[in-house]
Structure 1
Amino acid sequence: MAMAGLYRRLLPSPPAVEFASSEGKQLFLEAVQNGTMEGFFRLISYFQTQSEPAYCGLASLSMVLNALAIDPGRKWKGPWRWFDESMLDCCEPLEKVKARGISFGKLVCLAHCAGAKVEAFRANQSNIDDFRKYVMRCSTSDDCHIISSYNRAALKQTGTGHFSPIGGYHAGKDMALILDVARFKYPPHWVPLTLLWEGMNYVVEDTGLPRGFMLISRPHRDPGMLYTLSCKHESWITIAKFLMDDVPLLLKSEDVKNVHKVLSVVVNSLPSNFGDFIKWVAEVRRREDGGLSLSAEEKARVSIKTEVLKQVHETRLFKHVTSFLSNSCCRLPSISGHDTLPNIAATVCCQGAEILGGKLSPSAVYCCRETCMKCLKAEGDKPITMVCGTVVNGNTEQGVDVLIPSPQGPCCDCSSPSKYMEMHPASSDVLTALLLSLPSTTWVGIKDGQVLKEILELVSIDSLPTLLQEEVLHLRRQLHMLKKCQENKVDEDLGEPLS
């Protein structure tokens, strides 16, 4: 016999007022007239229902990230880049979230890793007056949104801890609009701000800490335009620990006499799965989607990537790294095969075909039959290098284009393979970006004072151009957040590391 499950809950009212009720509509109209519903329209455009009973935090965050138009930098399904709950697995395994939910600190960690600007407060770190000011700030603009972590008991609702975005504010009634992502349970509703604040003061048994709220806004440009750290593979835990804990100890124990030796200590000790950790972000598209014309968005993104790569090449550290790699028998674990654009392009084209093809079966095998360089020129624009690949999978083939940042001057063509060298983010670029992103404390154990001074000058980000500085700071924040996750400290420290 079939067993009937639960179908919704009756919203306790009072204290809540259902959004779609006559009173709820009136509150909405009055708040719109008073200018405190500006954030609502973007949020409602991306409103979603959590896909699992314990995914309220993930659903709230993906909804806010999409409303802020933050580019995740990786695909969701098919060719589309889009935040989905299934992609928010950086600070906590999804299976664990599915079983137990996610803590406030780890949701803050996820927001940082996704590239958002985050200000987070536990209830004991703020007060109701400040909370009201923050709600007012985000309700009168559409460039920041608040996610509240509260206990439903304060609102006389069933259940315990919950996350949901705040969709607006009615100043006269002092009520906040909760866009409840558990829409299978309760519809959107207005609640007294004082009761919501009370709900955020409940202590979580697992952490012994109160709940709170976070302001999430968009950085002035998408971070990680060219480089990003990945925690999609289990190896990230090992590599994050190596970079943050082991490298300083290795440098302290070794008697390094020059920069070359410092690089040797780091590179020769890198874990074999290092290539799964730091990557450069390529622009991939189906050939039939764009032809030889580029959209303004594509041009802008490639232009920024090109400038970042150019700025990496202009650092003194890059020159040392290039010299070391060219004169050393070691090879970075991140690079397989020949470190030339045709070989990398063939790999990227295959990966691009996989991305564009959507979810693959385990038996799907992609092979790049050929690649060719093209130079796209438009009046008034700098030329853009594009690698065109024909990718074969069984009896089908697909044209894939990869837009390549090329800071070293004119595009080259297929007739001059030697000119492919160093026209792309390669091992020397990746290693340079990674070394710049390590905290300054990494190097303090170097015993030779002159070597220490030289290294600190080489890795200093104070004098870097703005774009590269932002790129490095993004990698550094990612690394710090991953380290805090690895040490289970994200609930103790909500701050965003900038050192």
Structure 2
Amino acid sequence: MAVASLYRRSLTSPPAIDFSSTDGKNIFKEAVQKGTMEGYFSLISYFQTLSEPAFSGLASLSVVLNALSIDSDRKWKGSWRWFDESMLDCCETLEIVKEKGISFGKLVCLAHCSGAKVEAFRTSHSTIDDFRKFVVACSISEKCHMISSYDRGVFKQVLLEEFMLISRLHKDPGLLYTLSCKDESWISIVKYLKEDVPRLVSSQHVDTVERILSVVFKSLPSNFNTFIKWVAEIRRTEDAKPNLSAEEESRQKLKRDELTQVHETELFEHVSKFLTSVGYEENLSFAAATACCQGAKVLSGCSSNEYYCRETSVKCIKGHGPSGVEEATVIAGVVVRDGSEQEVDLLVPSTQPVSKGSEYYSPESKYPSGSDAFTALLMALPPQTWFGIKDQALQTKMKKLVSVGTFSTMHHEEVSHLRRQLIMLKRCQENKEDEDLTAPLS
């Protein structure tokens, strides 16, 4: 059935006030003079209209994430890293959002997974004074913005249902931060960590840290290596140039600092020693093909399974570093989709840690490896994961090993973000993301 076209709707005035009207301009000027429009300028700098009628939630979140200068950590178009509606699909598919819109709970999940600090509220659990207080707080700051969900029906009777405050973390997540939440390997790992690990450590006899690691590691989902490839820093051939901007150099240094902190933990020592003892190695050719195909999907923003790797090669590159000429291993691959070829390079991850306190880092320590990822995931598990360990002394030791209480602010936020992401994704899998927005993410 044909639907009549619509140019635009006029909101009821009063109470609505046209922003560009005389009254609207006067209110704007007054707010600027009183200092309650500080949050406006960063938002308007990145304002975007909807690409789909049902994308109001995605567009709102995209504007806020860009206004907060949160790095998407993956490319939008060309060489630009940016947030766009099309990239916000890890908690709900774009096809479903296009048809039905997105629930507030899933939008909260998206904000968490995109690297933001989020506080979500239902009006049934807060007061109008709370809401007004948060509006004022956001209006006088560029560091916090509000997204609200409301039903305006007849405009004179606006019903506010939920709202959330979004701000930036101390730093952009860098260690295991990935927008591959929709990837099956990540989803299966979340389920395993949240459901199976607590059961395994309580049902099996574990009397040492190594035994715990053995039980957890040997039951990992078979696609754990695929997840590592999502985590690894994959770049197009043309991106593997040494002439990085000062901003990009700073970003890479933060990641190296993060890895260094992981390497300096006692838990990493246990993990690294254990993985070495069991001969944890990946088949390089298979890893190359998998990594290159996964990289092509990330870079193109396409989740299709139609990629295949036509060829791979392993080469050694040399460059000048702080210790003279240094070498690094690079896997070069050509992936094909719909007859179109794309070259992808992968710098092979390594678990070699840098010297404690060193100002420099070797190329091998720039990218997360299996040991790094396994260590970080264990740290991200909530404390109650280990409550089932029957040996009280061992339980205490394990909780101490995974504790982030003594870490720097940067590392504490990194692990806390990953923990929140694990919890939010599990809620989404169980369709419980809208049940309790204020439930603790720990």
TM bucket (normalised to shorter chain) is 0.7 to 0.9
Higher-Rg structure is 1
Equivalent-residue separation in structure 2 for 1:240 and 1:360 (angstroms): 19
**Aligned residue in 1 for 2:283:** 337
The root-mean-square deviation of aligned C-alpha atoms, in Å, is 3.6
Task: Specify every segment of 5 or more residues in structure 2 that has no aligned partner in the other structure, as ranges.
Answer: none
Task: Give 1:61 shift.
Answer: 0.8
Distance 1:496 1:385, change over 3 A: farther
**SS of the counterpart of 1:153?**
coil
Equivalent-residue separation in structure 2 for 1:103 and 1:7 (angstroms): 27
**Aligned residue in 1 for 2:231:** 280
Work out which of the residue numbers 388, 410, 432 in structure 1 matches 2:375.
432
Structure 1 range deviating more: 483-492 or 263-272: 483-492
Equivalent-residue separation in structure 2 for 1:88 and 1:355 (angstroms): 13
Task: Give 1:72 shift.
Answer: 1.8
Equivalent-residue separation in structure 1 for 2:11 and 2:326 (angstroms): 57
**Aligned residue in 1 for 2:242:** 292
Distance 1:384 1:299, change over 3 A: farther
**Aligned residue in 2 for 1:86:** 86
**SS of the counterpart of 1:145?**
strand
For the pair 1:487 / 2:430, whether they are aligned, the reply is yes
Equivalent-residue separation in structure 2 for 1:465 and 1:320 (angstroms): 21
Equivalent-residue separation in structure 2 for 1:360 and 1:493 (angstroms): 30
**Aligned residue in 2 for 1:408:** 354
Equivalent-residue separation in structure 1 for 2:118 and 2:84 (angstroms): 19
Indicate if the aligned counterparts of 1:309 and 1:425 stay in contact, CA closer than 8 A: yes
Matches within 5 A, 1:40-51: 40-51=40-51
Matches within 5 A, 1:220-369: 220-228=170-178, 230-277=180-227, 279-282=230-233, 284=235, 287=238, 291-328=241-278, 331=280, 336-338=282-284, 362=306, 365=309, 367-369=311-313
Structure 1 range deviating more: 39-48 or 19-28: 19-28
Matches within 5 A, 1:343-492: 362=306, 365=309, 367-375=311-319, 377=321, 392=334, 407-408=353-354, 424-492=367-435
Equivalent-residue separation in structure 2 for 1:464 and 1:355 (angstroms): 31
> Which one-letter code corresponds to 2:101 in the other structure?
G
Task: Give 1:105 shift.
Answer: 2.1
Identity of aligned residues (%): 54
Task: Give 1:222 shift.
Answer: 0.5
Q: Note the alpha carbon deviations across 1:277-300, whole angstroms, 9 max, x for none.
A: 46535273654x684322111221
Indicate if the aligned counterparts of 1:91 and 1:110 stay in contact, CA closer than 8 A: yes
Task: Give 1:87 shift.
Answer: 2.1
Equivalent-residue separation in structure 1 for 2:130 and 2:273 (angstroms): 54
> Which one-letter code corresponds to 2:224 in the other structure?
F
Distance 1:298 1:411, change over 3 A: same
Structure 1 range deviating more: 127-136 or 433-442: 127-136
**SS of the counterpart of 1:217?**
strand
Equivalent-residue separation in structure 2 for 1:458 and 1:61 (angstroms): 36
Distance 1:153 1:233, change over 3 A: same
Distance 1:389 1:324, change over 3 A: closer
Distance 1:79 1:259, change over 3 A: same
Equivalent-residue separation in structure 2 for 1:306 and 1:393 (angstroms): 29
Indicate if the aligned counterparts of 1:302 and 1:404 stay in contact, CA closer than 8 A: no
Q: Note the alpha carbon deviations across 1:124-180, whole angstroms, 9 max, x for none.
A: 222223322221221222221111111112525xxxxxxxxxxxxxxxxxxxxxxxx
TM-score scaled to structure 1, two decimals? 0.75
Task: Give 1:327 shift.
Answer: 1.5
> Which one-letter code corresponds to 2:354 in the other structure?
Q
Task: Give 1:3 shift.
Answer: 6.8
Indicate if the aligned counterparts of 1:407 and 1:423 stay in contact, CA closer than 8 A: no
Matches within 5 A, 1:195-210: 198-200=158-160
Indicate if the aligned counterparts of 1:348 and 1:402 stay in contact, CA closer than 8 A: no
Task: Specify every segment of 5 or more residues in structure 1 that has no aligned partner in the other structure, as ranges.
Answer: 157-194, 201-210, 414-419
**SS of the counterpart of 2:268?**
helix
**Aligned residue in 1 for 2:97:** 97
Task: Give 1:462 shift.
Answer: 1.6
Q: Note the alpha carbon deviations across 1:470-491, whole angstroms, 9 max, x for none.
A: 2211111111111222232222
Q: Note the alpha carbon deviations across 1:325-352, whole angstroms, 9 max, x for none.
A: 12225x4xxx7424xxx99789767765
Q: Note the alpha carbon deviations across 1:357-402, whole angstroms, 9 max, x for none.
A: 7769946646444533344558xx9999876676556898868585
TM-score scaled to structure 2, two decimals? 0.84
Equivalent-residue separation in structure 2 for 1:356 and 1:90 (angstroms): 15
Equivalent-residue separation in structure 2 for 1:458 and 1:428 (angstroms): 15
Aligned length: 432
Task: Give 1:80 shift.
Answer: 2.9
Indicate if the aligned counterparts of 1:75 and 1:82 stay in contact, CA closer than 8 A: yes
Distance 1:345 1:142, change over 3 A: farther
**SS of the counterpart of 1:292?**
coil
> Which one-letter code corresponds to 2:11 in the other structure?
L
Equivalent-residue separation in structure 2 for 1:492 and 1:383 (angstroms): 57
Equivalent-residue separation in structure 2 for 1:386 and 1:496 (angstroms): 45
Distance 1:493 1:384, change over 3 A: farther
Task: Give 1:319 shift.
Answer: 1.4
Structure 1 range deviating more: 344-353 or 39-48: 344-353
